[in-house]
Amino acid sequence: MEFCGLKSFIILWMRELISKWMTQGQMPNSLPQNLIFKCPNQKTWTYVDKVCDTRNDCGDCSDESVLQCPKCSGWRCDTVFFADCACIPRTRCKNGIQDCADWSDENLCE
More confident residue, 8 or 66: 66
User: What is d(CA 56, CA 92) in angstroms, rounded to the nearest whole number?
Assistant: 16
User: 61 lies in which domain range?
Assistant: 33-107
- Cα 31 to Cα 49, 57, 84, 88, distances in angstroms: 14, 18, 28, 30
Chain segment 66-93, per-residue pLDDT in tens: 888 888 888 888 887 766 788 888 899 9
Say what the pTM is.
0.61
Residue 25 in domain = no
Residue 46 in domain = yes
pLDDT value, residue 2: 47
Per the structure, the count of domains in the chain is 1
pLDDT value, residue 5: 63
Residue 59 in domain = yes
